[in-house]
A = this chain, B = another copy of it.
Amino acid sequence: MVQSLADMDRDLQQAFRDLEEIVAEVVDLERAGAVLRWDQETYMPTGGSESRAQVLGTLARLAHARFVSDAVGELLAKLKPALEELDPESYEASLIRVTAREYEKLRKLPARLVEEQARVASVAQVVWAEAREKQDFGLFQPHLERLFALAREIADHLGYPNERYDALLDLYEPGMRTAEVEHLFTALKERLLPLVGAIGEASRAGKGAVDDTFLRQPYDEAGQWELTLRALRAMGYDFSRGRQDKSAHPFTIHFSPDDVRITTRIIPDDPLSALFSSIHEGGHALYEQGIPRALSRTHLGEGASLGVHESQSRLWENVVGRSREFWQFFLPVAREVFPAQLAGVTVEQIYRAVNRVKPSFIRTEADEVTYNLHIFLRFELERAVLNGQLEVGELPAAWDDKMESYLGIRPPDLARGVLQDIHWSMGSIGYFPTYTLGNVLSVQFYRQAVQEEPEIPQAIARGELMMLKEWLRRRIHVHGAKFEPQELVRKVTGRPLDPQPYLEYIEGKYSDLYGLKMG
């Protein structure tokens, strides 16, 4: 076993450098596309959308063509035998392994299809925003139909063990199967659905009630913005290597570890919306800012998977941001910015207010307990459409029916129903389950962090969020995408993905809040 290619033959070394060069070119093209997408969501004038779609299509096609070229295939064939000798955790072995995995997957896709998908999605996003505003699903429907058709075509090219959904899911969560998602979701449903029911009953009986009228008053935009900045700075988000803007749908995007941007959305009467959005995106951003520069012009220079990514955002948003400790630190900060609105509010009061469980229409604003139900719904609907059991045109009604069955409420309009999320318009189909994976992992990781550094909760209460950030950096971020998600979870926690810690956390926290006696 050798540590690095420096000990190996010159031919191999040259092949490795050639591979690095091609991969760097591909990553540069992908990053250029990322800047264009950021611009599209933040500042682009509406007139720009048609040309933007063309340029994004061209960039996607060129990146893809270069990556799946014969040159890469030949270099990988030359380099793969070296994997026998290299330390599998070394940069070199990881680059060869991950590049080979991506190459095998992506070369099955024709360049034409990649370009078309990028182009169609770029236009569809603009149409989605318009359709949402006009409450007109018909406007969006042909675009969504095209995107589902393309997703099917992509799945067919990629191949799959059981169903098309497997192929798409694997793009976001390498190694994960639809059946595993279904199994996990069933386990979660078994305990979350009764919990939601019990909380509802307790609420109706007046238990866990809290006066949160202080949240339902005007919080001016400048103050809300300031509050998000203070939270982000406390988390250690580096503004010299990132920035925050506004967009219709908050997101994080990275152009390198030194330029990782987030967006948020401000709602005048709801100060928690922007704050938790920013903390959530800040969690994603810390991950990207924490990935070593040395990995940055390769496909190792990003998160391990979308599920692992979401574990970081949900960890900060919920496990930290909705904890008593966080508000011990943050309530005085918030009171500096909004002295009138928060006068006399106690930590216990705001802790209860930010953890109020109430079935609601918008996923991104859902409480921790009902959040996953929104995901189950999306997973089941998109899987049904993909499998041909449901037509795109039937989605609005099917959405509303499922909302009623899971959450007992029916969306009053499309913006609070099927048109609320940007993701399908981006062609991200097979992606929603990663949100629930993220929830589950967030607790598994946090529990491990506290086990290794029991001081973390008290540090949070003192506003020293860096202790947690540094742990995450050291144990998770530093690896980038060197390991597949399951490997990483095992490496960090010593166990596979496990819903038990998450269920215990949720049941413990909310039994306490709502005075329930659990099983």
Q: Closest CB-CB distance, A20 to chain B, in whole Å?
A: 13
B55 touches A31 (CB 8 A): yes
Chain B min CB distance to A442 (Å): 27
Give the CA-CA distance A242 to B54 in the complex, in Å. 18
Q: Is A259 an interface residue (CB 8 A)?
A: yes
Cβ 8 A contact of A51, one of B29, B36, B50, B296: B296
Known: A39-B39, A58-B25. A51 touches B243 (CB 8 A): no
Q: Is the CB of A32 within 8 A of B59?
A: yes
A163 contacts the other chain (Cβ, under 8 Å)? no
What are 13 inter-chain pairs, A to B, with CB distance below 8 A? A32-B32, A32-B35, A35-B35, A45-B239, A45-B259, A47-B258, A47-B259, A48-B259, A50-B256, A50-B258, A51-B259, A55-B255, A62-B62
- Let me know if B296 and A45 touch, CB within 8 A: no
Known: A43-B245, A45-B239, A47-B240. 12 other contacts (CB 8 A): A28-B59, A31-B55, A32-B33, A32-B55, A32-B58, A35-B39, A35-B55, A45-B240, A45-B259, A50-B256, A50-B258, A51-B255
CB contacts (< 8 Å) of A242 on chain B: these are: 45, 47
From known contacts A35-B39, A62-B62, infer whether A28 and B55 are also in contact, taking CB-CB under 8 Å.
yes
Asked if A58 contacts B243 (CB within 8 A), the reply is no
**Is the pair A54, B243 in contact by a Cβ cutoff of 8 Å?**
no
Our pick among B29, B256, B259 for the contact of A58 (Cβ within 8 Å) is B29
Q: Name the 9 nearest CB pairs between A and B, nearest first.
A: A48-B259, A51-B256, A47-B241, A47-B258, A28-B58, A28-B55, A32-B32, A47-B240, A45-B243
- Cβ-based interface call for A297 (8 A): yes
- Asked whether A44 is an interface residue with its Cβ less than 8 Å from the other chain, the reply is yes
The answer, yes or no, to whether A389 is at the interface (CB within 8 Å) is: no
A477 at the interface (CB under 8 A from B): no
Closest chain B residue to A33 by CB distance?
A: B32
- Within the oligomer, what is the number of copies of this chain? 2
Do A48 and B297 contact each other (CB < 8 Å), given the known contacts A25-B58, A39-B35, A55-B28? no
CB contact under 8 A between A48 and B255, given known A36-B35, A43-B243, A297-B54? yes
Asked if A46 is at the interface (CB within 8 A of a chain B CB), the reply is yes
Contact B28 A32 (CB under 8 A): no
- A52 adjacent to chain B (CB < 8 Å): yes
Q: Which residues of B lie under 8 Å from residue A296 when comparing CB positions? A: 51
The smallest C-beta distance from A245 to any residue of chain B, in angstroms, reads: 8
Number of interface residues of A (CB under 8 A): 39
Q: Is A238 an interface residue (CB 8 A)?
A: yes
Give Cα A46–Cα B239 distance, bound, in whole angstroms.
9
Alpha-carbon gap, A296 to B31, bound state (A) = 24
Contacts of A36 in B (CB 8 A): 32, 35
Q: Which of A55, A62, A296 has the most CB of B within 10 A?
A: A55
Give the distance to chain B from A247, nearest Cβ to Cβ, in Å: 13
- Which of A36, A51, A240, A256 has the most B CB atoms < 10 Å from its CB? A51
- List the B side residues contacting A238 at CB < 8 Å: 47
Minimum distance in angstroms from A286 CB to a CB of chain B = 14
B residues near A243, Cβ cutoff 8 Å: 43, 45
Contact partners of A35 in chain B: CB under 8 A: 32, 35-36, 39, 55
Binary contact readout A228-253 vs B (1 if CB under 8 angstroms, 0 otherwise): 00000000001111110100000000
Report yes or no: B48 in contact with A28, Cβ–Cβ below 8 A: no
Q: How far is the CA of A31 from the CA of B57 in the complex (A)?
A: 13
Which residues of the partner chain B approach A259 to less than 8 Å between Cβ atoms? 44-45, 47-48, 51-52
Q: Which residues on B sit within 8 Å (CB–CB) of A52?
A: 255, 259
Residues of B within 8 A of A240 (CB): 45-47
Closest residue of chain B to A239, judged by CB? B45
CA distance A314 to B258 in the complex (A): 39
Please indicate which of the listed interface residues A35, A50, A238 has the most CB atoms of chain B within 10 Å of its own CB. A35
Q: Which residues of B contact A55 (CB under 8 A)?
A: 28, 31-32, 35, 255
A289 to chain B: closest residue by CB: B47
Determine whether the beta carbon of B31 is less than 8 Å from that of A51.
yes
- Give residues 1-56 of A contacting B (CB, 8 Å): 24-25, 28-29, 31-33, 35-36, 38-39, 43-48, 50-52, 54-55
CA gap between A242 and B45 in the complex, in Å: 6
A238 to B46, CA, bound (A): 11
| Complex CA–CA separation, A51 to B28 (angstroms) | 9
Within the complex, the shortest CB–CB distance from A282 to chain B, in Å, comes to 15
Contacting residues of chain A (355-371) with chain B, CB-CB under 8 angstroms = none
Chain B residues with CB under 8 Å of A24's CB are: 54, 58
CA of A506 to CA of B477, assembled, Å: 64
A46 surroundings in chain B (CB, below 8 A): 240
A24 to chain B, nearest CB (A): 8
A490 to chain B, nearest CB (A): 32
